Amino acid sequence: MTIKVGDRIPETTLTLATDEGPRPISTKELFGGKKVALFAVPGAFTPTCSAKHLPGFVDKASDIKAKGVDAIACLSVNDAFVMKAWGEHQGVGEDIMMVADGNGDFTRAVGLEMDAGKFGLGQRSQRYSMIVEDGVVKELNVEAPGEFKVSSADYLMAQL
């Protein structure tokens, strides 16, 4: 079942890409007591994700945080090493946490997985964004297949 507004984020473990290497982080630690803008992409270094989705959040990070967001997180079903390299390539810096859901556990738990096998990518995350306050989903914006509209930084900012 797909997560919806008003639901609590399920307890799973994700991985942060850090300079010291991969660091596990629970969803309780990531979302607890904070307002978090999370956006998920089908894959690091993929065309729309690299040309539009992540760059939009990089460009708008300070504006998003100025609206009361404590953290911005980019999530993908990739490993932490790939997420770190992608973040460096995109000039993310400290503004956005690059979060790896390497096994897709979080993505399955929130019901937002997709089969990208026909593209050679296997099981991935759908493209979406959400605003989470203290572990509860306040806004959820899931893209239609092949679309990039409602998960953008601009769309999310209008919801804050």
Which residues participate in catalysis according to the annotation? 49
DSSP assignments along 96-131, one per residue: SEEEE-TT-HHHHHTT-EEE-GGGT--EEEPPEEEE
Which pair of tokens denotes residue 57? 């959040």
At residue 93, the 3 state secondary structure works out as coil
Q: Which residues pair with 22 in a beta bridge?
A: 17
d(CA 53, CA 47): 9
Are 112 and 142 a contacting pair, CB within 8 Å?
yes
Residue 128 in tokens: 């979406």
Sheet arrangement for strand 97-100 = 21-26, 13-18, 97-100, 71-76, 35-41, 128-133, 136-142
